Structure 1
Amino acid sequence: MDPTTPGGVPPTWHPWVLGLATLVSGIVFIYALWPKWQVLRRAQPDSRLDRPAARILHTLKVAFAQSKMFKDRNAGWMHAFIFWGFLVLLLRAAEFFLIGFFPKLEAPAWLDAPRHLYYAVKDGFVVLVTAACLYALHRRLVVKPKRLNLSGEGILILVLILVIMLSDMVYEGARQVLLPDTASAWSWLGYLVAQSGLSGMSRPALETMQAVGYWSHVLAILFFLDLLPRSKHFHVITSIPNVFFSPVTPGNQLHRMDFEDEDQESFGVNVIEEFSWKKLLDLHTCTECGRCDVFCPALNSQKPLSPKQFTIDLRDHLNARTPQLLKAEPEPGPAVMGSVILDETVWSCTTCGACEEECPVMIEYVNKMIDLRRGMVLMESRFPKELNDAFKSLETHSNPWGFPGTSRADWAASLDVPQWDKNNPTEYLYFPGCNGAFDNRGKTVAASVVKTLKAAGVSFSILGNREGCTGDPARRLGNEYLFDMLATHNAETFKEEGVVKVVTHCPHCFNSFKNEYPEYGVHLEVIHHSQLFADLLKNGRLKLQPTDDKVVYHDSCYMGRHNKEYEAPRQLLAAAVLSGSLKEVETSRERGTCCGAGGGRFLLEENTGTRMSHNRVDELMQTEPETIAVSCPFCVLMIEDALKAKNLNEKVRVRDISEMIVEKQ
């Protein structure tokens, strides 16, 4: 009688050995996983279960289809093959354990066809995963991309995956020689191994080879499992949930604070446990791939901010604090700022969202930066000295530059702009914002918007001196109390005046009204001037005369990445210039580089490295433009200053799209 069972496993492979190994591995795995799970359960709440259908679709696209991985094509295919192979080979791993626990178990005949098909697909992925791991080792050991940290842990994981793949080949090849009646063209990889190197071996040697293949496979799987919660590869477990719980609506998931809650002892984040569970899950999910660093405008201008290192430092601190956090009465931990993260790191962030756009596992960075700023500003009054006057001006004059609020409407004095009348409202309220009302360059943009609206016959008016700052710079700089005061005032004004539709040319105002004011009971139809003008052009209410100026468009972070509007300004520019005259720089759309003004940075000096706006101008100048078109008043200021500093202001001009439209009418 053939001593080998139908599964190809000698009955002397004692199932209890596998059972003991699996039990020990399971205990070791749970021992490492349980504390992390408990810390997440005890963390601050964060509502992330809205719009479940959208979350599922987003998870299928980003996590399972690996859509964001392909932003870096070669590395993307490498990781995607490993991930998809992991999913396909889960069934193969289950089969190995079934064979070990039940050596004499025979599969029913009706499973033959699907099993053969699975084997064919499985073998394909074994080859793809093997090739991907070899490529990954080549990248880490030979190419050494700057964004990757060379670590023994990463090499070990890749070697383990290779062991799992190679042991599958060896096991299957030996099985097909031992049981030639079960050999099948469907298991083509095992057949190739059997014919190329094993067919001439003796039966005892083949049984030994099969045993080596089997035990190498299952033990490598168990060891790999136990490494996951102890390494950066914990993301294998956390990445899919992290994608599912990531935002499915625009904005930075910043929420209103209850300053009247007498039980609230702390505001913002001062110690690691004050982060929400989702933000702590982010820390465990970081793959250390460094994609966030590649497009960070702060890091690329030599500021002390690496989004990757920021996350790693917080994660390591969280892991170190975990034993204390699990105690009934944990000892107070060190403040995050100063001991874990440098102040300069947090203040370098422009909140542009480039890091979040690149992250393949949907880690959120901006809201953590703002949480930490909130902790410093609200609990310690610790912030750059340049912000003292800005905060005072926002509080007393509702603008960051100290202009009296009674002069807010002066910009429109010669433009014959009607004031909003709630008893006879216009279709739109035009909201020029602080820049449009007080900055000389911003006033010209506001005037162009007004002239264009009039030329198109749009019914609009302004609030004049009743308008106030949206509070965007205060919130991004961590002064949530001041933002709350400004937003509350504006919200009350909108409700009292019956405002429904708002047009703004400032993406920061747009973002606040659209994504943050609903928490203040105001649900506006918010329209950026590029969107309204594009609609007017489509409907024939705007007529443009195209010119042959060479134009390159600079995407605003808060209209682009934060609100996914890329097409409207391009539609306008396509009509304003001759075919072929509109250029695109490589770093555009979702990869557009920040001008350096966001996150309240326009109020702060850049004392370290090069200026972010200078870097952006260098990128834009690669297209040799005559005009740099923008759709944000702060981008206008930053890019114009950079052109002057580089003595390019006589050669290249900066125009808001509204100014270009006025010129072309």
Structure 2
Amino acid sequence: MEYTREIYWNIGQSLGVLLPMYLLAIAAVAFLTYQFSRRIKVYRQGQPLDRCDQWPTRLKQAIRGTLLQSRVLYQRLPGTAHALFFWGFLLLFIGTLLIFIQADLTDPLFDVRFLTGPFYLWFSLILDLAGLVAIVMLAGLLIRRTLIRPPGLDNIKDDWIIHGLLLAILISGFIIEGARMAVTELGTPLALWSPVGLLVANSLAGFEEATLRSLHQVTWWGHLLLAILFIAIIPLTKLRHLFTTSTNYFFADLGPKGMLAAIDLENEETESYGAATITDLTWKDIFDADACTSCKRCQDRCPAWATDKPLSPMKLVKQVGEIAFQQPQANLPETLERDVIWSCTTCLACQESCPAAIEHVGKIVDVRRHLVLMEGEFPGDEVTAAMEQTEVNGNPFGLAFAGRGDWAQGLALVDANTENTDILYFVGCYASFDKRNQAVAKAFVTLCAAAGIKVAILGKTEKCCGEPMRKMGNEYLYQTLARENIENIAATSAQQIVTTCPHCYNTLNKDYREFGLTLPVQHYTDFLADLIKGGQLQLQPQETRCTYHDSCYLGRHNDRYQAPRSLLTAAGAQLSEMDKHGRESFCCGAGGGRILADETIGSRISEVRAEMAAATGTGTLVSSCPFCLTMFEDGIKGADLSDQLTPLDLAELLVKRLPAA
């Protein structure tokens, strides 16, 4: 027998069949196009933003994200289920497309049929299995949403419509196949290549042929109408993410990761800074809301939400969309709520986990910029005081800038203005003025000296890098500090900058490039790891147990995970990882300028993180960030864990492993 089948079996290819079918399809596509054109007009309320540069890279990114479901698979079980459903549904779509090509193009026009022979057998088997996988995965996702119901996963009308419609399309497809096979293929070798259809056919085998043909016709037209309905409602429901999420992969920020766009403060035509209304955000900020699938991954990863703060990144993005489409004149700070805006630590956990390439942090900082630059508002008096002290003395502590280098007295430093130096150590405010972090700075300089590295510092001419001020929304103060620091760095003979602070590292290595800084910048963990690898720095390993905290600004913002761990290994440390580590590390609570603010809502993020560290039973919590170390000093005391856990910077651990003189 010939391995093939009649495409429009029991339906026919008369004009009375084809004309209404194509008219319905054209109407659905036209409706879809019209509805999306209306949504595009709403996106265009936002400010211009070029996200079509480097289009080959963007295209590859979009294809990889869509076809390989690379971002979706990040959430293991639900992500795998969604990816398998997508691949199954995609194969069914491709199969339908091939049927259309043969039945309506190649066969009537050129008398060419390719759905025959071995190709047809594999075609039938693959589509059958794809349909089965799609149904099982969709049912699993429905059970998760309706019965398991993870906390925070809200069900809306769209969810019921989409799941019901997709299940109806998939199940009716197998009923059509089973009815056809019950009449034409039962008892033939061909039936074995459609195992699910065969199962349905066997269950229908007891019916008369006339009944099976009637069932087939009714279900076929019902299946067609469901498919047409599916196309038509895409722009009106969460199904729009089929287009918007895939497109958002193309529009995703190509980096540097987490970098904010600078405000042109010298533009005299600018009447307002930051985002007060939806038109102050970019079109991408509005588009993000349509790309959001409400999967709540960002919410699950958010340290603010986890500690009972009012910020849900998912809800904030959806709110932005609601404002854009329903009340575009609304005031963003009031509608989004100030406590929500000030709760963010800019840790990037939301963006790193988002399967739709949504950018949450920039929206929040833009609203903060308006509150600070236009309304003079901060989340507390302590933040206002820190800003004022930084304006006067170049540091948030309010200590005299002339004493910024006093911590280094007695250390072998060179004068970068008159001598050649291997590195310029950008110390940062905490290592300069905070006694606890001064010990870290001294340990780093000692390690460099042991490796024969000449170190210079700016001393009293160094100012705060401005990162906490910028993330709090004070772009003016940040830019003032940045320009002063760059000018002072340029006056030295330095050829390389190293910093012990991830916030300084991120700022100098990314943000300062906009203002002309060209020197290479390294975080000290990478710098020391290179020295050990090159044989310049020798350590005497001593066995010790510890856990390591990945700083958000060293980890997620800059993907620096390996160097700190290689240093711990070189020091002889036995590392016990916390449940949340690496890319999934939990924030200390200091980012986003929160290091300057009192934490008055919910539980303290640092205490929650300290409890995670204590659960490892190692007794030592190692970090490589002065903000983190400061937060852990307070968090361990606040959680009453002082007898169980000691916070330590990595440099302090390493300096104890230097060979005895």
User: Structure 2 length normalisation: TM-score?
Assistant: 0.93
Percent identity of equivalent pairs? 34
Match for residue 112 of structure 2 among 105, 108, 113 = 108
Partner of residue 166, structure 1:
171
Q: Which residue of 2 aligns with 1:80?
A: 83
- The runs of 5 or more residues in structure 1 that have no matched partner are 323-332
- Could you tell me which residue of structure 1 aligns to residue 635 of structure 2? 642
Query: Amino acid of the residue matched to residue 86 of structure 1?
Result: F
2:618 maps to 1:625: yes
Distance in 2, matches of 1:14 and 1:110, equals 23
Q: How many angstroms does 1:303 deviate by?
A: 0.8
Cα pair 2:7 2:103 within 8 Å, conserved: no
Q: Is the 8 A contact 1:147 1:291 kept in 2?
A: no
Q: Give the direction of change, closer, same or farther, for the CA distance of 1:202–1:103 in structure 2 (3 Å limit).
A: farther
1:413 aligns to 2:406 (yes or no): no
Alpha-carbon separation, structure 2, partners of 1:388 and 1:273: 28
Question: 1:161 is aligned with what amino acid?
Answer: L
**Residue 34 of structure 1, CA deviation:** 1.1
1:385-464 map, 5 Å: 385-421=381-417, 424-464=419-459
Conserved? CA contact 1:176–1:183, under 8 Å = no
Match of 2:552 in 1: 557
**CA offset digits 1:577-631 (Å, max 9, x no partner):** 35xx211011000111100010110111111111000000111111112211100
Tell me, yes or no, if the aligned pair for 2:351 and 2:358 is still in contact at 8 Å.
yes
d(CA) in 1 for partners of 2:438, 2:538 = 24
Q: Distance between the aligned counterparts of 1:58 and 1:567, measured in 2?
A: 25
In the other structure, the counterpart of 1:534 is 529
SS at match of 2:303: coil
Per-residue deviation, residues 469-502 of structure 1 (Å, max 9, x unmatched): 1110111000111111111222223334354311
Deviation at 1:539, TM superposition (A): 1.8
Work out whether residues 119 and 186 of structure 1, in 8 Å CA contact, stay in contact via their aligned partners in 2.
no
Contact 1:549/1:626, CA 8 A, preserved across alignment = no
- Counterpart code for 1:661: L
Deviation at 1:295, TM superposition (A): 1.7
Picking from 141, 147, 154, the partner of 1:149 is 154
Partner Cα separation in structure 1 for residue 444 and residue 556 of structure 2: 23
Q: CA deviation at 1:199?
A: 3.5
TM-score (structure 1 length as normaliser):
0.92
In the TM superposition, residue 454 of structure 1 has moved relative to its aligned partner by 0.5
Check conservation: 1:7, 1:103, Cα contact below 8 A: no
- CA distance change for structure 1 residues 48 and 321 in 2, over 3 Å: closer, same or farther? same
Aligned to 2:469: 474
Shift of 1:66: 2.0
Alignment partner, residue 92 of structure 2: 89
Secondary structure at the aligned position of 1:461 is classed as: strand
Aligned equivalent of 1:247: 253
Letter paired with 2:86: F
Q: Does 1:39 find its partner at 2:42?
A: yes
Superposition deviation, residue 99 in structure 1? 8.7
- 2:24 aligns with 21
1:611 aligned residue (588, 604, 621): 604
Q: 1:183 to 1:491 in 2, by over 3 A?
A: farther
Q: Which amino acid aligns with 2:112?
A: P
Distance 1:114 1:38 in 2: 45
Distance in 2, matches of 1:567 and 1:185, equals 54
1-side partners of 2:531 and 2:292: how far apart? Answer: 44
Paired residue for 2:361, among 345, 359, 366? Answer: 366
Letter in 1 for 2:34: Y
Per-residue CA distance 1:169-218 (angstroms, 9 max, x = gap): 12222333444499835741464146413334333322222223322322
Q: How does 1:179-578 map to 2 (within 5 A)?
A: 179-180=184-185, 184-185=190-191, 187-189=193-195, 191-193=197-199, 195-321=201-327, 333-338=329-334, 340-384=335-379, 385-421=381-417, 424-497=419-492, 499-578=494-573
CA 1:77–1:510: 2 relative to 1, 3 Å: same
**What root-mean-square deviation, in Å, do the aligned CA atoms of Structure 1 and Structure 2 show?**
2.4
- Once residues 7 and 251 of structure 2 are traced to their aligned partners in structure 1, the CA distance between those partners, rounded to angstroms, is 45
* Deviation at residue 509 of structure 1 after TM alignment: 0.4
Matched letter for residue 202 of structure 2 = S
Specify every segment of 5 or more residues in structure 2 that has no aligned partner in the other structure, as ranges. Answer: none
Tell me the alpha carbon deviations over residues 148-189 of structure 1, each in whole angstroms, 9 at most, x when there is no partner.
112232122111111111122122223334444998357414
Contact persistence 2:129–2:196 (CA under 8 A): no
Of 47, 65, 78, which residue of structure 2 is paired with 1:62?
65
The answer to whether the 8 A contact 1:117-1:186 is kept is: no
Deviation at 1:60, TM superposition (A): 4.2
For the residues of structure 2 that align with 1:620 and 1:95, how far apart are their CA atoms? Answer: 56
- Which residue identity lines up with residue 165 of structure 1 in the other structure? L
Q: For 1:52 and 1:653, how far apart are their aligned partners in 2?
A: 49
Mapped partners of 1:27, 1:321: distance in 2: 27
* Alignment deviations for residues 122-172 of structure 1 (CA, whole Å, 9 cap, x no partner): 211100000011111211221111131122321221111111111221222
